[in-house]
Amino acid sequence: MSNIVSSLQTLVGFALLACVVAFLWAPVLTHFLYKYNITRRNEYDSTPTRNEKAGTPIMGGLLVVVTVALVTFISNWSRAFTWVPVGVMLLSAFLGGVDDLLNIFGAPRRSRKVFHILNLIKIHKNLRTRIFLTLTLPWAIFKRVGTWMGSHPGRGMHVHEKLIFQFMAGGIAAWWIYFKLGEHWQQIYVPFVGATGDGFINIGVLIIPVFILTVMFTANAVNIADGLDGLAGGALIPTFAALGLLAWVKGLPEIAVLNAVTTGALITYTYFNVKPARFQMGDVGSLGLGALLGINAIVTNQILTLPLLAFVFVIEALSVIAQLMSKYFFGRRLFRMAPLHHHFELLGWSEEKIVMRFWMLHMAAVLAGLWIGLH
Amino acid sequence: MIKELSKEARLVLEGYLILPLPGESVTCPYYNNARNHVRMGLRAQIGKGSPEEIADEALLYAIREKLDLEILKPSMRKQFLLDHNLGIDCSGLVYHILAAETQARGLGGISQLLKFPYASGFWARLGRFMRKRYAENTDVKTLSHKNNSRPVSKIEIQPGDILVSLKNNSLQQDHVVVVTKVDGEKIWVAQSELRPKDTSLSLGVREEILTSLDALSPRRMNWL
C-alpha cells in the first residue's frame, strides 16, 4: 500500500515540478516571442474571431515541449522507454516550428495544377525544363493531391511535406516499438477480453502501419483542434492524465512520469492560453504533443480506447475528413466550416461556450476511455 | 384557364429570383462552370446549387472577408456573388424547379426519374454511384435526351415542360428554359441566362412571358 502511495506521490510530484518549471520560464518565452515578432498574422481562410487574434504570439507550445523534454532529460531519461517518445515529439515539434516560422516570415508558396504542368511539358520552350517537369511529374501529382487535403497553401509547409515528416516520425515510433520493445508490444490490447482470453490480438507486421497511422493521425488531429483559445491545451490535460494513470496501472513508471510531466506543463500552458490568450500553441506544440499522444497511447496499449481518450481531437479530425468527403463527393458542405469548432462559431456560439462544452464532453469521454482501458 | 407550377416549385423559383440574403433583394446571377472546369467542387460554385446553398456560401464568404452584405447595393452584391463563382446555369435552374415539381406531383425524386446517358466519365460514374451528384450531371443535352423528354405541340404545353435549344456550331450554346405558367395563348418561362449586352443587374435568373422563341435569347439558337 505504501508503495502505491509512494509511486503516486512521485507522479503528482513530477506533474507539479513541470507545472512550476513551465510557469517560471513562461515570461521569458513570451518576451522572446514578442521580441522577434513571432505573432499571428491575418489569415485568408478564417473566421472573424480567428482574425481578431492577429498579433498574439504563436509557438507558445514550446512551453510544453521544452519543459517536457528538459524534465524528462534530467530526471526520467530511460533508453528503453522515454528516448523515442521524446525524440518523436521533438521531431514533430521541429516540423511544426518550421511551419510556424514559414507562416510568419516565409514567402507565399504556389502549387501548380497537374494539367498546367502537363501543358508546360508539351509547350515549354526549354527542353531541360520539359525533361525536369516530366521526371518530377509523380512528385507534382503527390504534391497536388496533398493540397486537396489542406486549405489555402499560404506561406507555410505544404500538406505533402508535413505528411512525409509525420510518416518519418511515425516510422521511428513503429520501428522502436516493433523491434526494440519485444514481442509483447507487437500485440493490441483488447479491453474486456482479459477475463476470457489473454486480452491481446496479434496482427503481426501489420502493427507497423497501424502505429505509423496512429502517430500521423493524432499529430494532425491535435493540430486541427488547436483553433480556439484553450481548446487543445485544456483538452490534452485529461487525456495525458488518463494515459499517465493507465501507464502507472500497467506497470510502466517511466511512461507514467512522462505523461504526468506533460500534464503539469499543459496546466501552466492552458493558464496562459485561455481567452484572451497570452500566446497560442502553434504547430510547434500541436504537432509535437499530438505525436507524443499517439506514441504514448501505443506504448500503454490503448489504441482501441484512443478514440475516447482523445475524443475531441478525433471528432475534430473526423469533421475535417467528413467535410472534404462531402465537398468532393456530394458537392455540399456538411458543416458550415471545418473543423467542427468553426462550425459552431459560424452558428453564433461564443468562443468560451464552444471551448467549455468541448472540454466537458471531452472529459466525459476520457472518463469512459479510462474505465474501458482499466478492464 | 391558368395553369401554374406547384407551390413547391414556385418557391424554388422565387428563391432564385430573390436570393435568401439579408438586405435588398437580389436575383441569382448566371454562372456556368464550362469556363473554369472546376471538378468535384461545391455545387453552389459550379452553377448547380439550390438558392439556399448559394446564399449560405455567399454568407460564408462575407464572414471570411469581413463584409456586411446587408449594406451593399444589390448590384454590388450581385458582383460579389459573381466574383465568388456563385450562381446558377440554365440546366441547374431547370433541374431544381423540376425536382420540386416532381416531388409535389408525387412522382418521386427527379434523380430517380432522369437518365444520364452522357455522364460516362469516371467522376460522373462515381457521382452516380454515390447517388448524390445528379444536379451536377444534368445538362441541357441530358434533359433533352429521348429517354428524358418527348416533343409536344404548342397547344399541349404545360407548366413544368421545357424548351430546349441545342447548339449547331461553336458560336451557339445549349440552352433550356422551363414553362412556369400557361394562360391560354400566353406562356411564362423561367430561365437563367447571360446576355452579353445586359447590365449586371439584369443578368441571371428571370421569369418572363414568351413572345417568341427568338426573343428568348439574342443568340442564334436551334430550338427544338
Question: Are B177 and B3 within 8 A, CB to CB?
Answer: no
Cell of B37: 472546369
* Residue A92: pLDDT band with limits 50, 70, 90: very high
- pLDDT score recorded for residue A197: 59
Which of B33, B64, B67, B89 best tests the A interface by mutation, with the highest count of A CBs <10 A?
Answer: B64
| Residues from chain A contacting residue B57 (CB–CB below 8 Å) | 333
Among the listed ranges A236-245, A306-315, B2-11, which one has the minimum average pLDDT value? B2-11
- pLDDT score recorded for residue B219: 45
State how far residue A44 is from chain B, nearest Cα, in angstroms.
8
Q: Which amino acid is located at B191 in the chain? A: Q
pLDDT over 60 (residue A347):
yes
What's the mean pLDDT in A3-31?
A: 91
Higher pLDDT, A119 or B153: A119
How far is Cα A343 from Cα A47, in angstroms, rounded to an integer?
A: 10
How far is Cα B86 from Cα A49, in angstroms, rounded to an integer?
A: 25
How far is Cα A267 from Cα A261, in angstroms, rounded to an integer?
A: 10
What's the mean pLDDT in A330-335?
A: 86
Closest residue of chain A to B48, computed from CA coordinates: A331
| Residues from chain B contacting residue A45 (CB–CB below 8 Å) | 64
* Residue B212: pLDDT band with limits 50, 70, 90: low
CB contact under 8 A, A331 and B46: yes
What's the mean pLDDT in B160-165?
A: 87
- pLDDT score recorded for residue B79: 86
Per-residue pLDDT of A146-186, as tens digits, reads 777 665 556 778 888 888 888 888 888 888 778 877 676 77
Q: How many CB atoms lie within 10 A of CB B117?
A: 12
Question: Are B135 and B48 within 8 A, CB to CB?
Answer: yes
- pLDDT score recorded for residue A93: 94
Higher pLDDT, B139 or A286: A286
Distances in Å between the Cα of A48 and the Cα atoms of A7, A45, A153 are: 47, 10, 20
Count CA atoms within 13 Å of residue A141 on its CB side.
5
Strand partners, B127: none
Which of B63, B65, B96, B138 best tests the A interface by mutation, with the highest count of A CBs <10 A?
Answer: B63
Summary mean pLDDT of chain A: 87
Share of chain B above pLDDT 70, in %: 83
Among the listed ranges A11-25, A203-217, B72-86, B205-219, which one has the minimum average pLDDT value? B205-219
* Residue B221: pLDDT band with limits 50, 70, 90: very low
State how far residue A116 is from chain B, nearest Cα, in angstroms.
13
How far is Cα A54 from Cα A149, in angstroms, rounded to an integer?
A: 25
Summary mean pLDDT of chain B: 81
pLDDT over 60 (residue B105):
yes
pLDDT over 60 (residue A45):
no
Strand partners, B175: B165
Q: How many CB atoms lie within 10 A of CB B112?
A: 10
Per-residue pLDDT of B168-194, as tens digits, reads 666 667 888 999 998 888 889 998 887
Q: Which residue has the cell 498546367?
A: A116
CB contact under 8 A, A346 and B135: no
Higher pLDDT, B211 or A122: A122
Nearest in space to A81 (alpha carbons), one of A214, A324, A258: A258
CB contact under 8 A, B133 and A330: yes
pLDDT over 70 (residue A190):
yes
- The helix (H) or strand (E) run that includes residue B163 is strand B162-165
> Mutual orientation of helices A83-105 and A159-175 as an angle, nearest 10°?
170
Q: How many Cβ pairs closer than 8 A exist between chain A and B?
A: 42
Cell of B222: 436551334
- The helix (H) or strand (E) run that includes residue A215 is helix A207-225
State how far residue B51 is from chain A, nearest Cα, in angstroms.
13
- pLDDT score recorded for residue A131: 93
Q: Is B40 on the interface with A (CB under 8 A)?
A: yes
Among the listed ranges A55-59, A151-155, A362-366, which one has the minimum average pLDDT value? A151-155
* Residue B214: pLDDT band with limits 50, 70, 90: low
CB contact under 8 A, B130 and A336: no
User: Which range, A32-46, A315-329, A359-373, B45-59, has the best average confidence (pLDDT)?
Assistant: A359-373
* Sign of the dihedral defined by the CA atoms of residues A117, A119, A122, A128, in that order: negative
How far is Cα A159 from Cα A147, in angstroms, rounded to an integer?
A: 6
| Residues from chain B contacting residue A331 (CB–CB below 8 Å) | 40-43, 46, 48, 132-133, 135-136
What's the mean pLDDT in B144-161?
A: 85
pLDDT over 90 (residue B11):
yes
State how far residue A205 is from chain B, nearest Cα, in angstroms.
33
Strand partners, B191: B206
pLDDT over 70 (residue A144):
yes
Question: Are A212 and A174 within 8 A, CB to CB?
Answer: yes
Pairing of strands B162-165, B175-183: antiparallel
Higher pLDDT, B220 or B68: B68
CB contact under 8 A, A327 and B130: no
Q: What are phi and psi of B189, to 5 degrees?
A: -130, 155
* Residue A33: pLDDT band with limits 50, 70, 90: very high
* Residue A360: pLDDT band with limits 50, 70, 90: very high
- pLDDT score recorded for residue B218: 42
Can the peptide bond before residue B29 be classed as cis, meaning omega within 30 degrees of 0?
A: no
Can the peptide bond before residue A276 be classed as cis, meaning omega within 30 degrees of 0?
A: yes
* Residue A25: pLDDT band with limits 50, 70, 90: very high
CB contact under 8 A, A329 and B40: yes
What's the mean pLDDT in A300-308?
A: 91
User: Which range, A203-207, A310-314, B129-133, B145-149, has the best average confidence (pLDDT)?
Assistant: A310-314
In the DSSP assignment, the letter for residue B69 is G
Among the listed ranges A45-49, A260-264, B84-88, B153-157, which one has the minimum average pLDDT value? A45-49
- pLDDT score recorded for residue A50: 62
* Rg of the Cα atoms in chain A: 21
User: Model pTM greater than 0.80?
Assistant: yes
How far is Cα A345 from Cα B203, in angstroms, rounded to an integer?
A: 34
Count CA atoms within 13 Å of residue B13 on its CB side.
26
Cell of A80: 528503453
Higher pLDDT, A84 or A306: A306
Q: How many CB atoms lie within 10 A of CB A196?
A: 7
- The helix (H) or strand (E) run that includes residue B126 is helix B122-130
What's the mean pLDDT in A240-254?
A: 92
- CA end-to-end span of chain A: 21
Higher pLDDT, B167 or A123: A123
Higher pLDDT, A267 or B37: A267
